[in-house]
Homo-oligomer: A and B are copies of this chain.
Amino acid sequence: MQTWIRFRRPDGDIAHGRVDEKDADRVVEYDGPGYTEPRLTGAIHSYASLDLLAPCEPGKIVALWNNFHALAQKLEKPVPTHPLFLIKPATSLAGPGDAVQRPRAYGGKIVYEGELGIVIGRKCRNVSVDEAASYIHGFTIVNDVTAAELINADPNFPQWTRAKGYDTFGCVGPAIVTGFDWRKASVVTRLDGVERQNYRLDDMIFSPEEQVSRISEDLTLMPGDVIAVGTSLGVGSMKDGAVVEVSIGGIGALVNHVRG
């Protein structure tokens, strides 16, 4: 297991780093993200001093709907036969600590969706389930923020892309962890300190490997792309000023707040 981060250095430049496995405050700087065979720059940083950024720069975030049995059951929806997804654009990306900015023209409910994120390590097209693991660089945390009242605002066209595609609505971080065993982990979301989601990842309908395989039949996945694997029970509204923390044991905690 390796823990990779991306951060702004004291001199303002953006850099990548790997957290020392024996000293969680020691970050060894590299000249690129972990999936690019990066080289050491020689710089060492204190984790506590760093201004963390989203740990990768996805060209797209593929966001799944209806991928947990418990939520499908609650919504009385059948288990899908293929991953159901939309795309959050690169411009929706936000990092740890960033504000989720309420859109100027939208006064409705903004909801959190705590999720596991798959980070693609290699260009990936039409790969089998067995091959898929070798295309996954690691795992991160996503808050798939959604302007919930927009989805069905037009009765003729569900606006999934618009509702989830706003700038800052794709919160990703704080780190990418390689070799992470998602089967034993849970997603816990706290809103202003109060637990609102706590679900096991082994309730997932399509496993990460199945997602990568099936989605790679539809579109080429690129290094740094993120698949947000979908959420489960407990999605709820965030008021302006609210602080939301999504945590997964073994990856960390992703904290963001809503700016009205």
Contacts and interface: CB of A to CB of B under 8 A. Distances in A.
B161 A86 contact: yes
A156 B152 CA distance: 13
A154 B82 CA distance: 9
Interface in A139-189: 154, 156-162, 165-167
A219 B166 contact: yes
Main SS at interface, chain A:
loop
A126 B219 CA distance: 30
B161 A85 contact: yes
A83 to B, nearest CB: 9
Nearest to A65: B157
B59 A219 contact: no
B219 A91 contact: yes
Interface string A209-247: 000000001111010000000000000000000000000
A72 B98 CA distance: 40
Interface of A: 59-60, 65-66, 77-78, 80-82, 84-87, 89-92, 103-105, 125-126, 154, 156-162, 165-167, 217-220, 222
By Cβ-Cβ distance, the 7 closest A-B pairs, closest first, are A91-B220, A84-B157, A87-B87, A86-B161, A60-B89, A77-B156, A165-B219
